[in-house]
Structure 1
Amino acid sequence: MDRFASFATFVQVADTGSFSAAARKLNLSPAAVGKQIATLEKWLGARLFDRTTRHLRRTDAGNDFYGRCTRILAELEGAQRAASAAQAEPRGILRVSAPVSFSALYLGPALSKFLMAHAHVSVDLQLDDSRLQLVENGFDCAVRVGEVTETNVIARRVGSSNFVLCAAPAYLKRRGEPKRPQQLLDHDCLRYTLGMSRWQFTSPEGKDESVDVSGRLRSNNGMVLAAAAVDGFGITYAPEFVVASALQSNQLVRLLTRYETASLPIYVVHAPGRHVPTKVRKFIDFVARRVSELRDGSD
């Protein structure tokens, strides 16, 4: 038995004073209405109406139940309106997990625009490069830079960023500029510990080449490696969003420009379900715009 439906049928019978009138309003047959009331009375263990051939009157139990039903149905209608409004207009706390470098350099500086556009949303942004579990840690969504390996999430690809091989002019003056990937074996390379262990390239002839580089500095944060590269300590192979500012200011110089580098996909992931909260959908759109701005160089 659909209890809420039977509650609504009971209230309609009580308001109209007859099964047939309630049936017309509910687009049901009088027999169907009568069956719902009978099932409801059996479930309650109480008679709700005194019936005669000409009159239908609520019993004392029916009067008490009527008051409770109208309150329950009003609460249910209010909850439905609130849920519908939340779908129409984003609101509430949006809990997001995101990688450190991407957030600090591109996501964070634009969050104020997102918040100003959505006045009823608050953002709790947690930065961590170790890919915290989404549902287990109470996040609404997460930004993933790199391929998504989780199987219990929905992943929306919002763009990509190519890797860039680069170094400071001072380093190149001191150590020379590599002309082929294999020459990186003779250089101090700055390695990202959470990413690829081998640096990958495609030659102008279309041949894939990879180099297992070495160096004295490793880190799980790309900004630390970029800063060391700017200081002239070594060569870094980093997503373009990490080194874009240093490249534009000529603090870093692109290397092996005739070679193609790997591409890093960017996703926003969220829990599976038919109804994605509006605040999550709006955030996905926001991140997609930021990635697009990253690629075309706008701010």
Structure 2
Amino acid sequence: MNWIDKMERKFRGRGIPNLTVYVIICYVVGYLLSYMNPSMLSMMSLDVSKILQGQIWRLVTWVIYPPSTGNFFLFVISILFFYYPVGTSLERTWGSFRYTLYIFSGLLFVLIAAFITYFITGGFVVIDGMTYVIGGGVFTTYYVSLSVFLAYAMSYPDMQILLWFVIPIKMKWMAGVYGAIILYNMISYIRVGLWVMAVPILASLLNFVLFFFSTRNMQRYNPKEVHRRREFKKAMAQSRVNPATGGITKHKCAICGRTEKDDPNLEFRFCSKCNGNYEYCQDHLFTHQHVK
């Protein structure tokens, strides 16, 4: 049992149901403010220098920044046909607690990265003699929202969607394309000296990396486990050798030892009730004693 499972058992029921709806409400408020009162929206951004001056509300209010402040039509499309169905489906799959932990951990990583970046740079970077101020618009929820899509693709890799409502494509390939775009953006920023812009991208996706590895069985990469599997395959290969002919056989009965080379008409089946990969010929498939 991994650490997420342990936390879920301990804090079951502490998740926020319908969290996707609340996130969308925050985005809508931020989108409206960007048009009606941009100055007020800037007062709610994640600006560490302002936070250290006493504007502590920015520790929370920065989450209202929408993933995009561009065309309103594209904003509605992305919410209705992308974020809402993906987020709600992922919450039903994972449960409220795990989904809440995923979202909040992504936000926390971005918040920590903003403070670390500020203490390292002092709030500005110099490139080719020009000074660039690290404002509140650098650290947003854009890539946290994107991590929800990546998590969904991990949960449903073979689900097919219509790209641009026309092209059928599987989620795993879409995730691969987005991953390549993210990597390209990070490399582009670093090459021109704007490594600060790559920090929020990396921080926003740490929750995906953390959840991905915590839900995978890493024990199979253990050197002892690799050696055990190699020895098992070697032993199985030797057991397939027909002593009479010295050739390799595809099937061998675990009871009588007969193979397809003994009788081409023999049929072989694996027993689903035996604890292990035991194969039996047609004469012993229903008469053998199950291995437990």
TM-score (norm 2): 0.20
Higher relative contact order (CA 8 A, sep 6+): 1
Give the number of the structure whose residues are more often helix, by fraction. Answer: 2
> Max radius of gyration: which structure?
1
Give the number of the structure whose residues are more often strand, by fraction. Answer: 1
